[in-house]
Amino acid sequence: MQKLIRRRVPNWLVLAVAMSAIIVLLVIQGANKPLPEYLVAATELVPGDPISDDDIETIALDLKEISGTYLTTSDQLYGLSVLNLVRPGELIPKSILTNNSKPGFTSLQFAPRLKPVTAIRSGATVEIWRVVENEEVFEPQRLVARALVTRIISEEGLFASENAEVEISLSIADSTLLIGAISSDLDIYLLPIR
């Protein structure tokens, strides 16, 4: 009778095959894992205005270590507003959210005397000045020390006005000064500040 000799499989080969199978399973599982979804602005989010569902959209991204600093689809937005302007397509940082909708603030739209310089765009901070005539001398006076530009509206076409209109967010106390200057037909100027 012949004796059958079984060849034994080396331990290192068994270990190598098992490790390869585990690595393949981990790669497949990692590839099938969905990316987290973050909230981005669909429209301009203006400070003080409550965020609505129409103002946001979702996008799947892998932000790695900074993922905790931006809003995800699991975060609650009801009654929140932003402290700074967020442009369309930008991620919404958690650090600029507030429960208060800036009480005591309002928005005004007007056309300054000069066309706004390129530094004045949505999100820019400006000073508002007026020029008054005192004893045959023109004197500049600062009306508002700090206001946020939320929009610049420039018309196009045959009947478009020469100066672009600017929408700003400012306190109600400052808005009364600006309304007085606009109604008295004084020249109003915007100066960008940092």
pLDDT of 4 > 70? The answer is no
Tokens 């500049």 map to which residue?
Answer: 140
**What pLDDT, on the 0 to 100 scale, is given for residue 78?**
75
Give the CA-trace dihedral at 116, 121, 126, 132, to 10 degrees: 20
Is residue 155, in this structure, part of any structural domain at all? yes
Is residue 81, in this structure, part of any structural domain at all? yes
Return the CA Rg of the chain: 30
Residues 133 and 61 in one domain: no
The reply to whether the predicted model has a pTM over 0.85 is no
Residues 70 and 125 in one domain: no
State which of 98, 133, 168 marks the end of a domain.
98
Portion of the chain with pLDDT greater than 90, in percent: 7
Say how far apart CA 73 and CA 80 lie, in whole Å: 14
Distances (CA, A) of 74 to 40, 68, 98: 13, 12, 17
pLDDT digits (tens, 9 = 90+) for 16-66: 888 999 998 888 877 667 778 898 999 888 877 788 888 899 998 888 888
**HSE (CB half, 13 Å, CA atoms) of 17?**
5
Choice among 38-42, 138-142, 151-155 with the minimum mean pLDDT: 151-155
